[in-house]
Homo-oligomer: A and B are copies of this chain.
Amino acid sequence: MRRSERMAVITKKLTSNPNQLISLSDFSDTLDAAKSTISEDLAIIRHVFGSLDLGRIETVAGAAGGVRYVPSMSDADIVTTVQQVCEELSDPNRILPGGFLYMSDITSDPSLMSKVGVVFATRFAHTNPDVVVTLETRGIPIALMTARAFNVPLVIVRRVSRVTEGTVVTMNYVSGSAKRIETMSLSRRALEPQTRVLVIDDFMKAGGSARGLVDLVAEFRAEVVGIGVLVETLEPAHKLVRNYESLVVLEKVDEENRQVIVRPSSWVSSS
């Protein structure tokens, strides 16, 4: 096999398995090439990925070592992705009675959410999470794609407890905006103590659900290391959690003039 062919195979294997350590022997067996040759191939991929901001190729030395692809996105690509979300959200046909916004098609768009997952993986890279946690339902695709980029498990907190979840911890909490009592419930098996948890959700208004997730995670003696939401509303300005990151700020849904006013969050525009 020639180098150009090996490059295609190695690149495919690395980028299809984000954050998974692949041994050099694995490549050298598949491609019938010496490890030193594979190392040279990897150096080329590392260099070109670095120069075009396509993510990092990391090498781990030693017997249990290997190489892995760490997805990350350039600032320019983050801006483009977030702008795409803003553009789709600002379509006035999304306005529902009561000033709500229909966004289920956006939050379950596989291609767009897979990019949003890499945006979150880039933004929260320093938090080094062991697991991504979300509250059903609409945030699941975003959370899954983020978990995939980090190569960590996804844990879905339920609103109702199901028999197939086994023993669960159920918590009542007060939704921040409507001041209604809601329930969330999580299987006892789903989260180990000391786990580093990244909370990912689709929407934050007052932050009641996020607050609830932080409290529920604490019941498992695990630790929330970051909170990411796709869309936050401008009002109320005071949220029930701190240190969260959103991609998009929903400033206003004007039912009368049929206008949706959204903008990228400040960290996005300034990056």
Contacts and interface: CB of A to CB of B under 8 A. Distances in A.
Interface of A: 1, 3-5, 7-12, 15-17, 20, 30, 41, 44-45, 47-49, 52, 54, 96, 98, 100-105, 108-111, 113-114, 136-138, 140-141, 144-145, 147-148, 151-156, 158, 163-166, 187, 189-190
Contacts of A7: 4-5, 7-8, 11
Given A100-B163, A102-B187, A189-B105, A49 B12 contact: yes
A249 B154 CA distance: 24
Nearest to A47: B5
B137 A158 contact: yes
Contacts of A54: 9, 12
Nearest to A55: B12
14 contacts: A3-B4, A7-B8, A7-B11, A8-B45, A12-B15, A96-B163, A96-B166, A102-B187, A103-B164, A104-B190, A110-B147, A110-B153, A137-B137, A137-B140
Q: With a 10 A CB-CB cut-off, give which of A101, A113, A137 has the most chain B CB atoms.
A: A137
Q: With a 10 A CB-CB cut-off, give which of A1, A49, A102 has the most chain B CB atoms.
A: A102
Task: Pick the 5 closest A-B CB pairs, nearest first.
Answer: A110-B148, A7-B7, A11-B11, A108-B154, A5-B48
Given A7-B7, A102-B165, A136-B137, 14 more contacts: A4-B7, A4-B41, A8-B10, A8-B44, A9-B52, A11-B11, A11-B12, A16-B114, A96-B164, A102-B164, A108-B156, A110-B151, A140-B140, A140-B144
